[in-house]
Amino acid sequence: MTTVPVDEGIFTWPAAEPQLIGSRCEACGIVTFPSQSSCPRCASTAMAKHLLPRHGRLWAWTTQEFPPPSPPYAGPTGADFEPFVIGYVVLGDQIKIETRLVDVTPSDLSPGMEMELAVVPFRTDDGGNEIMTFAFRPVA
């Protein structure tokens, strides 16, 4: 089976220690994810590629207990759907990232919990490729 990322250019992979690929405004310093061509704070177009920290702390979360409307959702539906946990993780003093949270039980989550980036299987496409996505999981 071939493994492919859900999109090119959003995380470094394959890599022993993958990182999310964002951008940083060279004028005001704001960090975005994914990368974008102009700055949402100061409108500068001087945006440089910026790799994000791999560790962060949990900021907010909820559960997704029903299959999201398809399209755009492309993951398993019907009997194959499994509820998942989703939240925001604060990466240092740079940015908050919205992400799936894996290897967690919702009742165990608490704000400020330390999390780390993981690249995990998301779905298998019609061609038999395993589509990989970024996620965060608690630091063991």
Partner 1 sequence: MAANGMDVAIVGVGLHPFGRFPGVSAIEMGAIAVQRALADAGIEWRDVQFAFAGSYEVDNPDAVVALLGLTGIPFTDVYNGCATASSALTLAANTIRLGEHDLGVAVGMDKHLPGAFSADPQQYACPSWYGELGHFVTTKFFGMKINKYMHDNGITQDTLARVAAKGYRNGARNPNAFRRKPLSEEEILASPMLNYPLTQYMFCSPDEGAAAVVLCKAEHARRYTSTPIYLCASTVRTRRLGAFEVHSPWLPIEEAPSPTVDASRAAYEQAGIGPEDVDVVQLQDTDAGAEVIHLAENGFCADGEQEALVADGALEIDGRLPVNTDGGLIANGEPIGASGLRQVHEVVLQLRGQAGDRQVPGTPRVGYTQLYGAPGTAGVSILSR
Residues that bind partner 1 (CB under 8 A): 6-7, 10, 22, 30-34, 40-41, 59-69, 71-75, 84, 86-88, 90, 93-98, 100, 106, 111, 122, 133
Q: How far is the CB of 84 from partner 1 (least distance, A)?
A: 7
Q: Which residue's CB is nearer to partner 1, number 54 or number 96?
A: 96
Q: Which residue's CB is nearer to partner 1, number 48 or number 106?
A: 106
- Cβ(50)–Cβ(95) under 8 Å? no
68's tokens: 């999201």
64's tokens: 């997704």
Tell me if residue 27 falls in helix, strand or coil.
coil
Cis peptide before 71 (omega within 30 of 0): yes
Q: Which residue's CB is nearer to partner 1, number 46 or number 60?
A: 60
